[in-house]
Amino acid sequence: MSEVMAAPAAEKKKVVLSGIQPSGLITIGNYLGAVKNWAEIQEQYRCVFMIANLHATTVRQEPAALRKNTLEAYAMLLACGVDPKRSIVFVQSQNPHHTELMWALNCYTQFGELSRMTQFKDKSARYADNVNAGLFTYPTLMAADILLYQADYVPVGIDQKQHVELTRDIAQRMNGVLGNLFTMPECLFPKAGAKIMALTDPTKKMSKSDPNPKSYVAVLDPKDTVIKKFKSAVTDSGSGICRAEGKEGIGNLMTIYSAFTGKSDEEIAAEFEGRGYGDFKLAVGETVADVLAPVRERFAALMQDRAYLDACCAEGLEQAMRISQRTRDKVYKKIGFFL
Do residues 288 and 217 touch, judged by C-beta distance below 8 A? Answer: yes
**pLDDT bracket for residue 5 (50, 70, 90):** very low
Find the distance separating the first CA and the last CA of the chain, reported in whole Å.
56
Q: What is the pLDDT of residue 20?
A: 93
Do residues 148 and 328 touch, judged by C-beta distance below 8 A? Answer: yes
Least Cα distance to 308 among 128, 104, 75 occurs for 75
Name which residue leads in pLDDT, 79 or 207. Answer: 79
User: Phi and psi of 188, rounded to 5°?
Assistant: -115, 100
CATH number of this structure's domain 15-193+306-335? 3.40.50.620
Q: Which among 205, 223, 263, 334 is annotated as catalytic?
A: 205
Q: Which among 14, 161, 195, 208 is annotated as catalytic?
A: 208
CATH 1.10.240.10 boundaries in the chain: 213-302
Regarding the domain with residue range 213-302, which homologous superfamily does it belong to in the CATH classification? Answer: Tyrosyl-Transfer RNA Synthetase (1.10.240.10)
pLDDT > 70: what percent of the chain?
95
Mean pLDDT of 288-303: 97
DSSP string, 304-319: T-HHHHHHHHHHHHHH
Q: What is the pLDDT of residue 192?
A: 53
Q: How far apart are CA 184 and CA 167, in angstroms?
A: 8
Q: How far apart are CA 224 and CA 290, in angstroms?
A: 11
Whether 205 is a known active-site residue: answer yes
**pLDDT bracket for residue 191 (50, 70, 90):** low
Do residues 241 and 275 touch, judged by C-beta distance below 8 A? Answer: yes
Q: Under DSSP, is residue 157 helix (H, G, I), strand (E, B) or coil?
A: coil
Instruction: Give the model confidence (pLDDT) of 299-334 as tens digits.
Output: 999 999 999 999 999 999 999 999 999 999 999 999
Inform me whether the pLDDT recorded for 152 exceeds 50: yes
Q: How far apart are CA 181 and CA 177, in angstroms?
A: 10
Q: How far apart are CA 51 and CA 70, in angstroms?
A: 7
Q: What is the pLDDT of residue 11?
A: 66
Q: Which residues contact 25 (CB under 8 A, 6 or more apart)?
A: 208, 218, 219, 220
Which of 7-16, 156-165, 268-277, 327-336 is modeled with the greatest confidence? 327-336
Chain-wide mean pLDDT for the chain? 91
Inform me whether the pLDDT recorded for 295 exceeds 70: yes
Instruction: Give the model confidence (pLDDT) of 124-140 as tens digits.
Output: 777 778 889 998 999 99
**pLDDT bracket for residue 30 (50, 70, 90):** confident
Do residues 45 and 272 touch, judged by C-beta distance below 8 A? Answer: no
Whether 13 is a known active-site residue: answer no
Mean pLDDT of 58-76: 95
Neighbours of 226 (CB within 10 A): 25
Q: What is the pLDDT of residue 194?
A: 63
**pLDDT bracket for residue 9 (50, 70, 90):** very low
Inform me whether the pLDDT recorded for 69 exceeds 50: yes
Name which residue leads in pLDDT, 219 or 126. Answer: 219
Inform me whether the pLDDT recorded for 79 exceeds 60: yes
Whether 334 is a known active-site residue: answer no
Q: Which residues contact 39 (CB under 8 A, 6 or more apart)?
A: 80, 81, 82, 83
Name which residue leads in pLDDT, 11 or 140. Answer: 140
Instruction: Give the model confidence (pLDDT) of 227-279 as tens digits.
Output: 999 999 999 888 889 998 889 999 999 999 999 999 999 999 999 998 999 99
SS (H, E, C) 95-147: CCHHHHHHHHHHCCCCHHHHHCCHHHHHHHHHCHHHCCHHHHHHHHHHHHHHH
Mean pLDDT of 189-197: 72
Q: How far apart are CA 260 and CA 252, in angstroms?
A: 13
User: Phi and psi of 201, rounded to 5°?
Assistant: -150, 90
**pLDDT bracket for residue 2 (50, 70, 90):** very low
Long-range contacts (CB closer than 8 Å, 24 or more residues apart) made by 118-127 = 118/159, 118/162, 119/159, 119/162, 119/163, 123/58, 123/59, 127/59
Long-range contacts (CB closer than 8 Å, 24 or more residues apart) made by 177-182 = 177/108, 178/331, 178/334, 178/335, 179/334, 181/147, 181/327, 181/330, 181/331, 181/334, 182/147, 182/150, 182/327
Q: How far apart are CA 238 and CA 314, in angstroms?
A: 55
Q: Which among 36, 123, 229, 281 is annotated as catalytic?
A: 123
